[in-house]
Amino acid sequence: MKSNRLEKIFIPFGMLGVISYLVHTTLGDYMWADYNPVTMDISSLTAKGAPNAGLLGIFTLIYGVFAVIFGVGMILRAYRAYNKNLGIGYIVFLAMQVISFIGYKLIPIVNDKYLMSLQNTMNIIVTGLVVGLTIIFAFLIAYGYLKQPKTKKFGKITMVLAALIAVFGVFNLIAMSMGLNILGVSERLVIFSLMVLIFSISNFESFANLEYIDIKKEN
């Protein structure tokens, strides 16, 4: 019962975290007159030397903390009421969020990202880990929901979002390798797809009819 109570408290933080992240991107674009969301990535908003990095960093900090809380809540629920695929998927999600949270805070990108300094190189490595773990997490939880008879419909939705994240992730890598000046767009396609996925899961698990909770786990 204690786990159940924690789940109910923790899981809505997913939606709150997404809202905080969207405030960060929207406010950052608005406050920086020279910022171009088509050609400049989101990381530039909080890069070392960015004009409003301090203020916007507060919203990314809130997102990071809230996402970790949400991840813990979903691990508790997955292992209490779902199957091992969802449990592993949310562990991967939590690992991704911790790496992202710590990595980007300790190694912020320098605004001149084309200067391949050690700091920028390490930031790119963190990004690669985060993207890879995000794709793994998305497909694991989609498969996990599909395996539960009463969550198959939601599983199909999450599978579509997982596929979009993977496709947009590949597109982002292609755009970067080809030197296309659309980094802002290609990155946003990946990140906003992830935000939709997190918000959808948090909303579904917080407010949907949870009659399937506490049923015997299905493998």
Highest mean pLDDT among 39-43, 79-83, 154-158: 154-158
- Could you read off the pLDDT of 135-158 as tens digits, one per residue? 999 999 999 999 988 899 999 999
Q: What average pLDDT does range 78-91 have in this prediction?
A: 90
Helix/strand/coil percent split, the chain, to 5:
75, 0, 20
pLDDT reading at 213 higher than 70: no
- Rounded to the nearest 5 degrees, what angle is found at the Cα of 65, between the Cα atoms of 60 and 67? 90
Higher-scoring residue by pLDDT: 81, 213: 81
Closest CA to 194 of 164, 154, 151: 164
Question: What mean pLDDT, rounded, does the chain reach?
Answer: 85
End-to-end CA distance of the chain: 23
- Could you read off the pLDDT of 150-204 as tens digits, one per residue? 899 999 999 999 999 999 988 887 887 777 788 889 989 999 999 999 999 999 9
Q: What average pLDDT does range 12-37 have in this prediction?
A: 94
Q: What average pLDDT does range 120-145 have in this prediction?
A: 84
Amino acid 46: pLDDT? 84
Whole-prediction pTM = 0.87
